[in-house]
A and B are shown apart, each in its own frame.
Chain A
């Protein structure tokens, strides 16, 4: 056998390097709680041209969060979007009527409150005003309640928030009909707010006089989920 002939004690004799590796890794990892997101944001921006050709993250960085036991299904023949609440005459749109409304598209960034982000998401759908034009709201309406087929998930936006130019009721994602995992057939998209306000599997929009606490707000999340300015971020 070749190799060194230097006899060195095996136990505890050499330099104490193992603890250094342990401490450096632990401290480096803990400190990343403060710098990780900004570094990763720079890296992901740099690799986004590559990412569009070769996906480096599973499903382009999306995670599928649900609050109940199973994902709601979608049957185009029975699905309806109910428009109800403080309106002259409640209405319901079926899938074909929904697709017949003026189509809007946008590319926006999706932020989850847990810290992950998906850039350059191409959405297709309808603006809320075009949907609300189907009913005559009462004068006291100040907010909208978005009800998911995933019980008991719901959330609210004020009319002002719902009127932001990039708020969309999306039925397409990256050029394809919204998949079941992403909320088929229709979800709310409000890029300026964290994902929990972007209600999936929409089946009902209620016009109401005031906002109440939605599903996550009742569990302590902020009512106004502005990205970077709510839920403990940016404060």
Chain B
């Protein structure tokens, strides 16, 4: 019989999907603002701008609510896991075979970059909004930062989706972030140092 082990808590999964929901809403409305062909097709720029701005505020508010209302201690433990890199992580990043914990080194890097991007998206987005109202908040590079973040986030997203949905060896991970559990033999193969509770 197939045995399953718990990989992600309810709070972790809720945080992941809240982030995904916010990101895709912002990506969709942001592309309408950014791409001339979509801007012409959709029109209603003032409405799309409002949708984009309030989606951003809603995104951060939702992440905060999930984090504060969920298993805070568990999230702190997860943050510590994501923060620490050992020699096996270094080997793994160099392309060598090395046993990994609950998160592999790539996932840890992705988490750190995604967290930084979230802060930078928020700051640059607020500066764009404020800058339209007050020159003290206007920087020549805000729009470059916001757009550059989108480009970088898209690269991360494409890699993330490929590994989570398409790549045969890793796509079982999707079950972990939806149902919470993964096959024990898969966990042993991909996350040998992880000792599920």
Contact = CB atoms under 8 A, between A and B. Distances in A.
B144 A12 contact: no
B143 interface: yes
A176 interface: no
Interface string B91-107: 10000111101100000
A231 interface: yes
Contacts of B87: 4, 6, 8, 14
Interface string A179-192: 01100000000000
A69 interface: yes
B33 to A, nearest CB: 8
Nearest to A70: B43
B138 to A, nearest CB: 4
Given A59-B35, A220-B133, 8 more contacts: A2-B97, A12-B81, A12-B83, A18-B83, A36-B141, A36-B145, A58-B34, A220-B135
**Interface centre among A3, A34, A69, by most B CB within 10 Å?**
A3
Interface of A: 1-4, 6-8, 10-19, 21-23, 25-26, 29-30, 32-37, 40, 58-59, 62-71, 113-116, 180-181, 219-220, 231-233
Interface stretch (B15-23, B114-122, B169-177): B114-122
Contacts of B73: none
A2 B97 CA distance: 7
Interface string B129-170: 001111110111111110011000000000000000000000
Contacts of B131: 114, 232
B144 A19 contact: no
B54 interface: no
8 contacts: A3-B88, A6-B87, A13-B86, A26-B119, A29-B120, A36-B145, A63-B33, A220-B134
**Interface centre among A15, A65, A181, by most B CB within 10 Å?**
A15
B34 A11 contact: no
Contact of A3 (B98, B123, B128, B135): B98
Contacts of A180: 40
B67 interface: no
Contacts, number: 175
Contacts of B136: 232
B69 interface: no
B144 A71 contact: no
B140 A37 contact: yes
Given A1-B189, A16-B84, A69-B44, A21 B135 contact: no
A232 B88 contact: no
A227 to B, nearest CB: 10
Contacts of B101: 10-11
A14 B149 contact: no
B192 A3 contact: yes
A108 B39 CA distance: 24
Q: Interface majority SS on A: helix, strand, loop or mixed?
A: loop
Contacts of B128: 114
Q: Interface majority SS on B: helix, strand, loop or mixed?
A: helix
Contact of A17 (B83, B120, B144): B83
B99 A11 contact: no
9 nearest interchain CB pairs?
A232-B135, A36-B141, A14-B86, A25-B116, A18-B83, A14-B84, A21-B112, A10-B101, A37-B140
B145 A181 contact: no
B89 interface: yes
Contacts of A18: 82-85, 108-109, 111-112
Nearest to B47: A69
A171 B87 CA distance: 63
B27 to A, nearest CB: 14
Contacts of B132: 114, 219
B77 interface: yes
